[in-house]
Structure 1
Amino acid sequence: MSEKKVKKPRNWKKIGLISGAGLVLFVLLFAGSVHYTSKPSFCRTCHYMESFYQSWKESSHSNVTCTDCHYPPGLKYKLRGKMEGLVQVVKYTTHAYRKSKPWAEIPDESCLRSGCHQRQLLEGKGEEEFKGVHFSHKPHLTQLRRGKKLRCTSCHSQIVQGSHMVVTENTCFVCHFKKGEKYEEHSECRLCHTDARMLANSQAGTLRYDHTMVIENKMNCQECHSETISGDGAVLKEQCFVCHFENERLARFNDTDFLHKTHITDHKVECFQCHLPIEHKISHRDIEAVSDCKTCHEHTHVPQKDLLAGIGGKGVESKPNPMFEIGLNCRGCHILHGYSTNELEEVTYKADPQACEKCHGKGFGNLMKQWETITEAKINRLEKWYQTVRTKTRTGDRQTEIDELLAAAEFNIDLVKQGKSVHNVSYADALLNTAYDNMSTALQLAGSTYQLPASFKETSQKVPSDCAACHASLPVNEVNIWGISFSHERHVVKHDLPCQKCHSNMRQHGELILNRKKCLNCHHQEQKEKTCKDCHEEADAFFYGTTTLVADAEPDLMAEVLDCYSCHSGKGGKIVRPSGQTCIDCHDDGYDELLEEWQGNIQTLLSEITTLRKQVNVKALNESQKKQLTRIDQKIAAVDQDGSSGMHNYFLIDSMLTQVKEELQALQPSS
C-alpha cells in the first residue's frame, strides 16, 4: 500500500496580507491616478491641448480644474469623465484626433455649481458691465429670448484661440439684429446705449461729441449714426454639411425653433458656425455707406461726397469732415423736404441751418451762412483772376507745366463751387488756396510781372489749426459789439492779434473772454487822428441830431455845451461809462433818478418792440411793407448800437421808438 502525500496547510494569513497590501496599493494608485489625471497639467500631455491649456492658465478660471467645468458635479459624471478621458488617450495614441477639432460642451450645472457662479445671477441680483453695456443674466438664461433658450456657453465661448470663455460679441449681434419672420429683433439703440450712460460718458469727456443736447432734445440716434449694422446673419444650407452628411438632415432646415433647440439648448454649437456674421459699428471713411443712390443714378452728388470725405482735390492732402468721420450721414443735415399729398411722389430732403442748431446749439446756423458768403466771395475772385492768368500765360517755354497747374486750379475751384463748402469748409479752403498757389506759380513760370493780391491767403493762415475745421476763414462782414462796428480782418491780419486774445474754449466754445475795458487799453490811447465818432457813429449821430433815420432830427439839449469827454472822462483822463452821479455833478439832486427813469422807459419800449417784431409774418407782407420793415430794423439796430438806452438824445430816441412800436402794431397779422 502506497504511502499517501500529506498536503501542507495554506498560509491564509500571508495571502491575506499580500492581497490586502495589493488592494491598498491599487486603491492608492487608482486614487492617485484619478487625482493626477484630473489636474490641468495632465491635459497638456497631449500636445494639441497646449493652446487650450495656455488660454486657461492665463484666464480668470486658472484656479479651477478642467473637469470641474467640463463635467457637472457628482460621482456619475466624474466616472464618465474618466471614461471619456481614456477614449481621448486612445485617439491620441492612434492619431485619430487629427481627423477633427477637439470638441467639448460645458453644461450650465458646472457654471452654477457651489463656489462658482452663484444662482443670484439668475435672480437678477446685480448687473454685469461689458464694454460699457449693463447686462443682466436673468432674462437671458431664465426666459426665452426670441423663442430660444440660451445656455451659458451661448455667449461665453472660445471662438478666439487664446481667449478662454470670453463673451463673443457676434453672438449678441446675431440675436439682437437678425431680422426674423416670427420674432422681432431687439435693435433699439438705447437698450444698450442708455441715456444715463451717454450722459455720464459725455460729462467724463470720453466721447468725441458731447451727447447732452442729444439726450435733452430726445433725438433719434439714426439721425447721425446710420449704416451701423452690416450683414444679415443669413444661414446657408451648405453650412449644414460642415457637420452633417445625410441629406435627410435638411428636411427640417426651415424649422428654426427645432434647429435652435437642438444646436443651442441641447448642444453647444457656436452661432457663427451656422450664421453669417453681423457687424455693429460706426462706418468710417466709406462714402458709399452714406448713400446707395448710385444703384440707379451714376455720379450722383460726386462733388458733395468728395468734399465730405475730404478727397478728390488736385495737390491737396485728404482731410475728411469731422462729422463724416463719426458716421454722420446726409439725413443728419438734410432735414427739410417739400410737402406732397402723394405718398409715391419722390421727395428731396434739403439742408437747413436748423440742423446745425439742433446738435450744436442756437446761433450755430449763422456759421453756415458765413461759410457760404466767404466761399462765394473767394470763388468769384479766383474765377476772375483765372481768366486774367490764362491770358497772361499763353506763351512760354514751359507751357505744359503751366497748363497742368491751371487745369488743377480750375478743377479745385469747380469742385468747391459744385460741392458746396458747407460739406467740408476746411478742405474747401485748402482747395481754393491751392488753386491760388497754382495760378501764382503759373505766372512765375511764364515770366509774367502780374501778381495776384497777397491778402487772399492771409486770413486762412491766421486761423489756428484747432479752429480751422469750422472757421477756415475770418468773417468778411463786420460785426457789432458793444455798439461798435468790429472788423476781424483789421485786427487779425493787419494787427496780427491771435484768436485766443479774444476767444476761449475752456468753459464754452468760442466764449468771448475780452471785455470792453481791455479793448479801451488800445483804442483810448492818445491818437490824434482818431475821434469818438470813428467808433461810436450812431451815438454821435443821435447826440448831434445828424441821424438819417429820423426826418428833421434835433440834437440833444446838451449838444451845444457838452462833448463826449464832459460825461465820459473819469479820473486821470480815463474813459468811463457815466452814472447817475455824473448827472448830479452838474445838475440838481434828483437827476440821477431821472436818468434811471428815462433809461427804464427806453428799455421797456425796446422789449415791447422786440416782441412785436417776432410776431410779424414777413411772408405775408407786400413789397411796400417789407421796405417799411427794413427801415424799422435799421432804427432798432441803431438804438442797440448806440448803447446808452436813449441817454444820448432821450426825446429823439423815445419819439422814434414810439413810432416804431405803432408801425409794428399795424404790421401784426390779423386774427
Structure 2
Amino acid sequence: MKKKILYWGILSAAVLVVIAASYATWNRLDPNYTCARCHEISTACAKWEQSVHADVTCTDCHGTALESFNSMSEKLNMVYKHFTTKKTFEDIHLTEKQSLALANRCAECHQAEQASWMSGAHSTTYKDIFMDVEHNKMERPYWDCFRCHGMFYDGDIDDLMAMEGGPEDWHIKDASQMDKPAITCLACHQVHHEQPRGMNYKDMDETSRGALAQKAKYPSTALYMRADKRHMPADKLLKEQIFAGDSLVAEIKDANTLLCMQCHAPGTNHQLGSEDDKTTIGDFKDMSCITCHDPHSNQLKTSHRNVHKKLFSTLSK
C-alpha cells in the first residue's frame, strides 16, 4: 500500500513538473507559434509585431496563469471560451479590472510617466468625479460621463451611482470603486499600436521621447472609444473647426490636440472658449497641447501659464 502511495505521489509530482516546464517553455516561445495561432488574437499579435512594444513579451503585459488564483481562473476561462464560443478579434475586450492590471504593468517600465500622471489631474478617481456635489448640482451624472471618466467601467451609471434625493445624497454604490482611477493609461494609449520598429521607446532618452510625442505622423496616442470598445489612433480622429460667432478662427489638425479635445471639448456649436474648450489662437494658433502641457500630469510650463485666460479675455473685449 505504501509503495502504491509513493508510486502515485512520484508520478503526480513528475506530471506537475512536466506541465510546469512545458508551460514555462510555451511562454518563452515566439508568439507566432503560440498565442498568435489562436484566430481571436492573431490580429493583435500582428499589430504588436509592428509596435514600439515589439521587444516586450506577451507575458510581460498579460502575465501568466501561474501568477495567482485569479490569473489561473482567467486563463482557464479564456481556454474554455475558445472551444465553446465563436469569438473573433472584434469580440475580445478588456474589463475594467484587466485594464487596471495592465496599467500597473505599464508603470513597471514607464515609471517617470506614471509619477507624472499621479501628480496631475488625470489621476482623478471615481469619487472625485462622480461625487463632486457642486458639479452634480449643475449636471446630473449620466451615461455619457463614461466617455471620458471611467471608460472601462463594466456597468452603466445606474450600476455605479445611487441618486435618490439631492446631489448631496448621491453616492457611489460600491465603496471599493471610489478610489479607482477614472482615467488610466489605456484611455489615451493603445498598447498594440502600429509604429515603426525603429522607435523603441524603452531605449530613448527623455528628449527623444518628447520629440516622438510631437510627431503627428506617428502619434503614440489613441482614444479609447467606450461605445465601440476599441481605440482610434489620434491622427485618425475627425478634424475640429472652432468658431467665434460665425467666423472660423481655428481648424485643429494636430493629433495630440485632437485627442485632448475629445474630452476638453467646446459646446455643440463649436464656439471658441465654450464649455471646456481650450483652443489657442493668435500667436499660439496651431500649437499642440503638449507643447505647453506635460502630456501625463497636464501641468503647464511656467512661461505658458494663463495663455488661455489671456486669449479669451482679449477676444471678449
TM-score (norm 2): 0.42
Comparing both chains, which one has the higher relative contact order based on Cα–Cα distances under 8 Å and sequence gaps of 6 or more?
Answer: 2
Question: Is the radius of gyration larger for structure 1 or structure 2?
Answer: 1
TM-score (norm 1): 0.22
